Structure 1
Amino acid sequence: MKHKTIAFIYAHPDDETFSSSYLIRQTVDEGHRVVLLTATRGDAGKTGRLGSMTPQELAARRERELEQAARILGIAEVRQLGLGDGKLKDVPAEELQKQIAEFIAHHNAEVVVTFPADGISGHKDHIVIHHAVNAVVFSRRTPTVQKLYYNQLGNYQSESSSVVKLEAGGYWEAKRLALQAHESQILSIERVFGDLGPEVPPHHRFEAFELAWERGVHFPPKTERSVWNDLL
């Protein structure tokens, strides 16, 4: 298969590592290209055990952390829009959609991955990104895109669509190191993953991605083993 590009569209630095490390690393190992867009620099987040920081200091720190995580995972290009952390609902929808569409078009991405409707965690910024990506893809403003996937949690199944389920396998080590790179967020990381030891945490043996849209069809009922199945 000709090498393809997959674009991950998220709200904050670390979203990619929390939710999609196995898929990113697998994609890179298979010779495809991964690009990442984050809408904010994460300047309204916490600082973990690093002590107090100004929003500007935290943004700079999280930018460096993201660069390190991207190198570990093999992400070819990262772009940060620098929009207000925690304030994406205040950004005009068309402005956000335009920037997302330009990023996807610049990279001629065939596959896009983003948050599900609940933003995974219910975070308002995540939900804004979900709707913005939907608007871009569903309107066919990015004609290279053939498939849109949502991160999926729970039982790794869907009554309405395909779910691609990836085992940690040898990818946990990359995910563990990328999580460690996001040092300012270590308290949140430990709350979700526990101690970042060499063994895969029991509740994180899989990542799953639900096929939300394929060439104009919403939640097509099919079975897939890979996000690359049936690309033209």
Structure 2
Amino acid sequence: MFHNCNNLKILLITAHPDDESMFFAPTVLNLSPNHIFYVLCLSTGNYYKIGYKREEEFKKSCNILGVDENRAFIINNENLKDNPELVWNSTIVSDVVKGYTIKYQINVLITFDDYGVSGHLNHIAIHLGVRRLMRVYKIPGLSLFELKSVTVFRKYLSFVDVLCTMTCAELAFFCSFKQFKKALGAMLAHSSQMTWYRFLYIMFSRYMLVNELVPISF
């Protein structure tokens, strides 16, 4: 689909500032040059009360990944707070995403699958909310793709898993060396989040190098 069309309007939906670079950088870097790419983050990442700073980092990261800051949205909704123990209401999620989908005439939605890479409840809530949007509203011409979660073992195989994905994935996006440097720059833009284990993540996580997307039919 992506290779046969240009100028699709694509909306990536994430839960927190830095999700776009931690998990989806290969997708954004491969699709943003040929399509009209938007990123919608459903929280300011204010769990540690620095949401104001994380909003700035989000904009910088998206810019590095090739997404114009006018197409990078971050919202502060009382019902969608950054909290690993909070289950977001799927109806609220679907209604928020629906508003942006209709306003910008989106053709393709991209988000997490039912495990959300790490099992984070906010990630899973987006999966449920977007699926509800597709099921309930049936917007004509709208497609959904989800980022495939893998086992913890595969998650930290880095470039070794790229070889595995090349042989078995139907739809995957890979980072070239030049693109990986951009993905790294986007991660480093989130300076408030760069703890020691984030540097380990950069070194070993396959999501910095490859994204496998799964088309979802309704």
Class of the TM-score when normalised by the shorter of the 2 chains = 0.7 to 0.9
* Corresponding letter in the other structure for 1:129: I
Higher share of residues assigned helix: 2
Unmatched runs of 5 consecutive residues or more in structure 1:
46-54, 195-200, 217-232
Identity, in percent, stands at 19
Higher strand proportion (structure 1 or 2):
1
Task: Kindly report which structure 2 residues correspond to 1:214-225, keeping only aligned pairs within 5 A, or say none.
Answer: 214=217, 216=218
Partner SS for 1:17: helix
Instruction: Please state if 1:10 is matched with 2:14.
Output: yes
- Name the structure 1 match of 2:53: 61
Residues in 1 aligned to 2:13 and 2:138: alpha-carbon distance in whole angstroms: 15
Deviations 1:139-186 (A, max 9, x none): 344333123232444453899xx6422221121011011011011111
Residue 190 of structure 1 aligns with an amino acid whose one-letter code is: F
Residue 24 in 1 paired to residue 28 in 2? yes
**What is the TM-score normalised by the length of structure 1?**
0.74
1:142 aligns with 2:134: no
1:36 correspondence with 2:39: yes
User: Deviation digits for residues 109-137 of structure 1, max 9, x if unmatched?
Assistant: 22211111111111111111111111112
Structure with larger Rg: 1
Secondary structure in structure 1 of the residue aligned to 2:125: helix
Q: Distance in 1 between matches of 2:60 and 2:194?
A: 15
Unpaired segments ≥5 residues, structure 2? 155-163
- Alpha carbon RMSD of aligned pairs, Å? 2.5
Per the alignment, residue 221 of structure 1 pairs with: none
1:79 pairs with 2:79: no
Question: For the residues of structure 2 that align with 1:157 and 1:139, how far apart are their CA atoms?
Answer: 35
Please tell me whether the aligned partners of residues 7 and 112 of structure 1 are also in contact (alpha carbons under 8 angstroms).
Answer: yes
- Matched-pair contact (CA < 8 Å) for 1:163–1:208: no
What is the TM-score with the length of structure 2 in the denominator?
Answer: 0.79
Counterpart secondary structure, 1:26: helix
Alignment counterpart, residue 167 of structure 1, candidates 165, 174, 187: 174
